[in-house]
Amino acid sequence: MPRVTSKDVAREAGVSQTTVSFVLNGRDEHGLSAETRQRVLETAKRLGYVPSGAGRALRKGRSNVVLCVVPDLPVAEAMEQFKLALGRSLGEAGYTCVYLHHAGTATPLAELWQHVQPAVVVAFGSLPPVDAQSLRRAEIPLIDGVFTPDGSNLTGLSQQDIGRLQIEHLAARGHRHIGYAALDDPRERPFCLPRLEGATQACRGLGLPAPQVVGMRYSRESARDAVVEWTRGATPVTAVAAFNDLIALAVLASCRTQSIAIPDDLALIGVDDLPVSSLAVPALTTIGMDLTAAAGNLTAGILATVGAPVPAAPSRPDVGDILALIQRETT
């Protein structure tokens, strides 16, 4: 079926195409009667007329698309939940959120800007200099490094604070020798390294030895080797802070097969508060994140960047309020 155009609306409503343009663009300086406006609007609705996005972008100089460039990251529930929350938040403000998963090996992004005409580009990682320069030449605003350590103010979500909260909780439970379960995946380094740095700084501030770091993968063998290293060395650890809940659950399962009691022999804390964490036996202590609030913070920054009104947020959380300790049975 051919696309309905403004010419079709004009013919059906018995007015000129210029009149249709004035009505649909909300222009009221041409003395059109209320009856004419109503007839055009009803005709457009009845015919299913949808304005051309390209034409609207040409008139405004940009579209209402927020293009989010996502680097090569493993599929993770927390990131997917954040993306959904950001899409909802921007949608309420009248913007469409489009995600581009870009591993850095495709055609240069400069070729994309001219086709999409985004209102703003939001880079979850750091854009290569050549791509950032192409945006400047195209006069397209860029919010760069959302999930880098320097970008925590954009969302209010600090990866370092996550590691700090884990250590502070374990120390408050009396643990002095603490292990850290890092994820051995280069794609997760933007998250893992700052969390480990926060944990290390917290140990230093509390007068504790640095955490005993073991790199892990999502495998039974890797979890078994990590638990052996933590519990059978010269100075066994009594607690482990894990990079995320999945790594923590792998440690928990391995402890069960090695007859290590949780939390009596080894306390354990994760990150993400995945639904499965509360179903584990024993239930996993973890750090939860208010991803809706984090997405709202980023939305406010995006709207301010494009010069759009920022909705009032009377209870907008700050950095400390977005993270919460969820204490269960493993600590």
Per-residue DSSP letters for 239-305?
A: EEEESSHHHHHHHHHHHHHTT--TTTT-EEEEES--GGGGGSSSPPEEEEE-HHHHHHHHHHHHHHH
Average per-residue pLDDT for the chain? 88
Q: How many CB atoms lie within 10 A of CB 301?
A: 18
Bridge-based pairing of strands 120-123 and 142-143 is: parallel
Give yes or no for residue 172 having a pLDDT over 60.
yes
- H helices of 15-146, in order, are 17-24, 34-47, 53-60, 77-92, 110-116, 129-138
- With tokens 């293009």, the residue in question is 67
Check the CA dihedral 6-57-89-23 and report its sign.
Answer: negative
Type of residue found at 28: D
**% of residues, the chain, pLDDT over 90:** 61
**Residue 271 and residue 286 in contact, taking contact as beta carbons nearer than 8 Å:** yes
As a whole number of angstroms, the distance between CA 30 and CA 36 comes to 12
| pLDDT score at 143 | 95
**Residue 195 and residue 227 in contact, taking contact as beta carbons nearer than 8 Å:** no
Phi/psi of residue 286, nearest 5 degrees:
-155, 175
| pLDDT score at 54 | 46
Q: Which of 30-34, 206-210, 253-257 has the lowest mean pLDDT?
A: 30-34
**Residue 224 and residue 260 in contact, taking contact as beta carbons nearer than 8 Å:** no
**% of residues, the chain, pLDDT over 70:** 87
> What does the pLDDT look like over 278-328, one tens digit per residue?
999 999 999 999 999 999 999 999 999 988 877 665 444 454 589 999 999
Cα 115 to the center of its chain, rounded Å:
25
Q: Give 115 or 136, the one with higher predicted confidence.
A: 136
Bridge-based pairing of strands 142-143 and 212-216 is: unpaired
As a whole number of angstroms, the distance between CA 226 and CA 248 comes to 11
Which residues sit opposite 143 in a β-bridge? 122
> What does the pLDDT look like over 60-114, one tens digit per residue?
455 789 999 998 888 889 999 999 999 999 999 999 999 988 765 555 676 677 6
